[in-house]
Amino acid sequence: MHITRKLVAALAVATALTLPAMAQSTITAPGQSTSGTYMDYMKTVYDRATFAELLQVPIATFDKEFELTPMAAESWSQSEDGLTWSFKLRDGLVWSDGEPLTAEDYVFALQRAATTGYDFAWYWDFAGGIKGWKEVTEGTADVSTLGLEAVDDLTIEVTTTAPKPYLPSVTSLWYPVPKHKVDELGDDWALNVDTIVSSGPFEIESWEKSNNSVVFTKSESYTGPWQAQVDRLEVDPSLGAPEVGLPAFLAGDADYSFLNTGQVPVAMAADPDGIRRNAVFATSYLSYDLESEPFNNVDVRRAFYHAVDRDELTSTVLRDIAIPAGSILPPGYPGYNPDVVGQATFDPEKAQQFMADAGYPNGEGFPEIEIWIREEGGYNGAIVPAMAQYLQAELGEHLGITVSIRQLPGADWMDGLRGAKNNIFIAPYEYDYLDPSNFYGIFYDGGRHNYHVDEYDALVAQADSESDWDTRYALYAQAEQVMIDQGLIVPLVHPITTAIISSELGGEATEPNSLGFTPLDRLGHYFFTHLTK
Amino acid sequence: MLGYILRRLVSVAFTFIAVSLIIFLMMHAVPGGPFDANDMPVSEAVRAKLMAQLGLDQPLYVQYLKYMWGVLHFDFGVPYQSPGESVLQLLSRAWVPSLVLGGLGVLIGAPLGILLGMAAALNRNSWIDYLASAVATIGLTIPVFVTSMLLILVFAVWLKWLPASGWPNPERWILPIIAYAAIPVATYARYTRSAMLDTMSRPFVTVLRAKGLSERRIVFQHVLRNSAIPLVTVFLPMFIGTATGSIFVEAMFRVPGLGAYFVSSIETRDYPLEMALMLMITFMYCIAYLLSDIVYALINPRIRVGGAE
């Protein structure tokens, strides 16, 4: 053989041998919670294992512009009376063990959730409005009465108690459960890597339970939209704290890291091109016990509403980590209304007048109050305590009252809120699904706050089932007007998260959306499938 | 001696029961339960089902007796945080990294501290003494998460000699072991220095010198042995404290160890794991102090355990 040909042949063999190794791309990402129980979103949401949802394919999900995109479903339609939705699944979807993925797996997921005690059960009652959900979860009706049916292998029918025009967006959190595995192993199928099966763009390779870190690999069997573009994805929740994540990122051990307040300027100086900001669909607000002194007086609540200088707050103590909130809805969220936002003005004179009207001129005679805040991690950890101290000073200065702060662990704080063990709280809330009913629902008829305000409840109930979107948004705006007029809450700030990403990362998911924000792993399915390295 | 040990073991059993009762009552006296920290509260019906699954619907005394009956059979229940395994399996899995890193930290740190303390005592008021005091003060006063951060910054980010954090490969152990060793080095340096100075000022050392013994023999055979009591007192409790993991060191260096479970079991109201961890620690301390007492008698015949003589 000619020497050149030999060389070419040798090179070709060498290239063929090394290509697979070179093409192996691994992304190391921070996770959120260092403990997780089941690798099954439909078993537990609050205690789920790291990115359990990435293993399964939802009916639909959101892209970075928050456009709803069909995933397992090919299409959907609503009946004329608005009460029944029909979802048509894609043909050819399978579980990673080769079993076909069918409508039955989706229906079973919710039937099990309704009967076995699911920490996210409220969502399917209140967001999904599925017929019979409340009765079945309370044990007063049989699971067969649920408004869910697998008409055939590829068709799911959902019947709701009232028209739910936004039901398709609710299905972004509807993942299948492998019925064949549950029949064989019960819920324990989701406890060990050996028995976990997946239906989505990733499969599981390993799971270290001591810190809930998980290694995912690109699924070879997934045929639906949004296939993974990287071979391996290592998610380590111990990188979630910026204090650990950033040094690891700088040492080359992580591909991106979230930043705390002090780190933002350092990271900006080190690599301005790598900085990504995101407005989280979340709001921190003041809420009260409406039944007890002094907050059973609407004038007191109105005074608080006008006593907060949100612009100063977000340009000083919360600089780079929050923006002012004038509504419970964050900017960019469906139904966001600038007219509502415009009313949340800082007006100390008006606030003082309200206090005088309430019988507390210059704060005289006003009882000492204690704001209860929750121990927070993540973005709220930097925002809430600093904001509480700011409010303490502001309310003292403008209203002449004495405020103290008490920080409690999550369970104790929630216990205090639900049981009205205190009269004022700073409450943060992050959306669960992309519809105004999510945020307005937390104050609806007992919801999260034990609020029962008839006028508000009537408007929210009406808006919830209104199928004309303009009318719907108008009704929600009226509901928020009731909140403002009665001073039910004081919207304070919306959080901003900042991250630094490696220049080795590419793909659509690393580029900002049209609002200039990069949601990163807040949109897990979109992010991890539109990422390259 | 044997009678003494038996009597001590009986008192360990009583301590154990008392601690278990106190912990159990305190755990349940804290408001909230395993499902109360969620952003949205679960409905009463759902909550009742979830609580029944964990057996939390039964009266407290039944829960306590059931748990303690299990403990007698080495069954500490199933951790709520990790339902796929028993508490014992969780402990045996998560303890390994803590034991390796914390254990090595103490085993390396303690001898280093003793050497440093000896050097300081033998060269009192010299630069060695001042250096040892400075090292000991720094080691004891700078919080371990600051030390850890500095170690990562210098050796991983700036010099790039070592990886910043992580677990499986041994080169990732070096920085956390140094972080763990800081406290034993500092503690031992201080204890050794003062114990040795105290011993060296005793008349018997003067007698030994007068007898013409070499300085080396005096130091290693007599002074060190007579100074060992405080070192023994400190060693076992320190070993337990360090080898059961530190939430800070483990979090900073991403070690999948036991440390974080001490906090997460309380935060998430993981009752079985919280009880098991507390009982384990109680048991280990009881045994450690018993062993320390026995070792006292062995190294210093003037101490008689049992108190009868």
**From B84, B85, B163, residue closest to A253, measured CB to CB:** B163
Spatial neighbors of A451 by CB under 8 A, at least 6 apart, are A290, A443, A444, A445, A488
> Measured between alpha carbons, how far is B185 from B133 in angstroms, rounded to an integer?
11
Residues 162-201 of A with CB under 8 A from B: 188, 191-192
pLDDT tens readout for residues A483-513: 999 999 999 999 999 999 999 999 999 999 9
Tell me whether residue A242 is exposed, middle or buried, using C-beta atoms within 10 angstroms of its C-beta: 0 to 12, 13 to 18, 19 or more: buried
pLDDT tens readout for residues A357-416: 999 999 999 999 999 999 887 788 889 999 999 999 999 999 999 999 999 988 889 889
Question: Is there a contact between B31 and A411 if contact means CB atoms under 8 Å apart?
Answer: yes
DSSP tag of A172 = G
Taking the CA atoms of chain B, what radius of gyration do you get in angstroms?
A: 24
- Give the CA distances from residue A376 to residues A411, A413, A442, A448, A498, in Å, rounded to whole numbers and listed in that order: 12, 11, 19, 18, 17
Q: At A334, give phi and psi (nearest 5°).
A: -55, 135
Percent of chain A with pLDDT over 70: 96
Chain B CB within 8 Å of residue A430 CB: yes
Range name among A5-19, A133-147, A429-443, B6-20 with the lowest pLDDT average:
A5-19
Q: Which of A32, A204, A238, A413 to mutate to test the interface with B (most CBs of B within 10 A)?
A: A238
**From A34, A137, A253, residue closest to B260, measured CB to CB:** A34
Spatial neighbors of A413 by CB under 8 A, at least 6 apart, are A372, A373, A374, A375, A425
Query: Above 60 in pLDDT, residue A202?
Result: yes
Quote the distance between the C-alpha of residue B222 and its chain's center.
Answer: 30
Query: Above 90 in pLDDT, residue B116?
Result: yes
Among A81-90, B143-152, B204-213, top mean pLDDT goes to A81-90
For the entire predicted model, the pTM comes to: 0.84
Chain B CB within 8 Å of residue A32 CB: no
Question: Is there a contact between A448 and B32 if contact means CB atoms under 8 Å apart?
Answer: no
- Greater confidence (B289 vs A167) lies with A167
> Measured between alpha carbons, how far is B11 from B9 in angstroms, rounded to an integer?
5
Query: Above 90 in pLDDT, residue A207?
Result: yes
Split at pLDDT 50, 70, 90, the class of A6 is: low
What pLDDT was estimated at residue B86?
95
Among A184, A174, A242, A190, which residue's Cα sits nearest to residue A381?
A242
The dihedral through the CA atoms of B262, B264, B270, B273 has a sign that is negative
What pLDDT was estimated at residue A21?
45
**8 Å CB contact between A475 and A446:** no
> Measured between alpha carbons, how far is B81 from A35 in angstroms, rounded to an integer?
7
First to last CA, chain A: 39
- Supply the DSSP string of B248-278, one letter for each residue: HHHHHTT--SSHHHHHHHHHTT-HHHHHHHH
The whole-number average pLDDT for the span A27-36 is 91
CA distance B140 to chain A (A): 22
Give the A:B interface size as CB pairs under 8 Å: 140
Chain A CB within 8 Å of residue B89 CB: no
Question: Is there a contact between B38 and A188 if contact means CB atoms under 8 Å apart?
Answer: no
Chain A CB within 8 Å of residue B45 CB: yes
What pLDDT was estimated at residue A1?
46
Query: Above 80 in pLDDT, residue A103?
Result: yes
Question: Is there a contact between A414 and B36 if contact means CB atoms under 8 Å apart?
Answer: yes
Residue A99, CA atoms < 13 Å, CB-side half-sphere: 17
In chain A, which residue's Cα lies nearest the Cα of B146?
A243
**8 Å CB contact between A524 and A279:** no
Chain B CB within 8 Å of residue A414 CB: yes
Domains in chain B: ranges and CATH: 95-265 (1.10.3720.10)
**From B37, B53, B93, residue closest to A411, measured CB to CB:** B37
Question: Is there a contact between A251 and B164 if contact means CB atoms under 8 Å apart?
Answer: yes
What pLDDT was estimated at residue B306?
56
- For the record, the structure tokens of A16 come out as 């063929």
Chain A CB within 8 Å of residue B244 CB: no
Among A116-130, A384-398, A426-440, B4-18, top mean pLDDT goes to A384-398
What pLDDT was estimated at residue A136?
94
Q: pLDDT averaged over chain B?
A: 88
Residues 200-239 of A with CB under 8 A from B: 208-211, 213, 236, 238-239
DSSP tag of B61 = H
Spatial neighbors of A226 by CB under 8 A, at least 6 apart, are A69, A71, A201, A525, A526, A529, A530
**8 Å CB contact between B284 and B240:** yes
In chain A, which residue's Cα lies nearest the Cα of B155?
A251
The whole-number average pLDDT for the span B237-256 is 87
Percent of chain B with pLDDT over 70: 96
pLDDT tens readout for residues A301-353: 999 999 999 999 999 999 888 999 999 999 889 899 988 999 999 999 999 99
